[in-house]
């Protein structure tokens, strides 16, 4: 009985470790992640951003915005969902903090991304979001 328990424990541990390694590999795949500071440049601060676009939809429940991309960096899509996570910094061009709830449609937004999934419309988490006035 102890041998079976030990074998099952080892099996579950191996599956858990293999699963973690596999998901880490997916995150590092160049097709699934956008590296930071590749694409657009903010003339005011001379800072590079991964993407820029116009907000066309706001998902308050999931803290996401759908962008019509105006500057795509290495993204091939015309639209992208950008999600604010717990550690995402959101501010305006004057570097004043902005709450996600204050983001409205038709504003221009630039963002540095941390991780992207690539369905038909890419879905990305943002490290930083800048709202242009």
- Written as one string, the DSSP assignment of 32-87 is T-PPSS-SEEETTTTEEESEEEEEEEEETTTTEEEEEEEE-TT---SEEEEEEEEE
> Which residues are CB-contacts of 55 (< 8 A; sequence separation ≥ 6)?
65, 66, 67, 103, 104, 105, 106, 107, 108, 109
CB contact burial 108-132 (16+ within 10 A = b; e otherwise): bbbbbbbebebeeebbbbbbbbbbe
Return the domain boundaries, the chain: 1-30, 40-132
- The answer as to CATH 3.30.429.10 being correct for domain 40-132 is no
Residue 43 has what pLDDT?
40
Per-residue pLDDT of the chain in tens (133 residues, 90 and over written 9):
655 655 655 545 455 444 433 333 333 333 444 344 444 444 444 478 999 999 999 999 999 999 999 987 766 788 999 999 999 999 999 999 999 999 999 999 999 999 888 877 888 899 999 988 6
Query: From CA 38, how far away is CA 51, in angstroms rounded?
Result: 9
- The confidence score (pLDDT) of residue 62 equals 95
DSSP 127: E
């Amino acid at each position: 009985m102890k041998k079976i328990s030990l074998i099952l424990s080892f099996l579950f541990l191996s599956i858990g470790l293999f699963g973690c390694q596999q998901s880490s590999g997916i995150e590092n795949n160049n097709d699934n992640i956008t590296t930071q500071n590749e694409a657009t440049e903010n003339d005011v601060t001379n800072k590079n951003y991964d993407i820029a676009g116009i907000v066309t939809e706001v998902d308050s429940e999931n803290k996401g915005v759908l962008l019509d991309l105006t500057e795509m960096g290495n993204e091939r899509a015309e639209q992208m969902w950008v999600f604010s996570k717990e550690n995402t910094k959101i501010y305006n061009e004057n570097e004043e903090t902005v709450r996600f709830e204050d983001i409205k449609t038709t504003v221009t937004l630039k963002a540095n991304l941390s991780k992207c999934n690539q369905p038909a419309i890419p879905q990305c988490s943002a490290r930083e979001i800048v709202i242009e006035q």
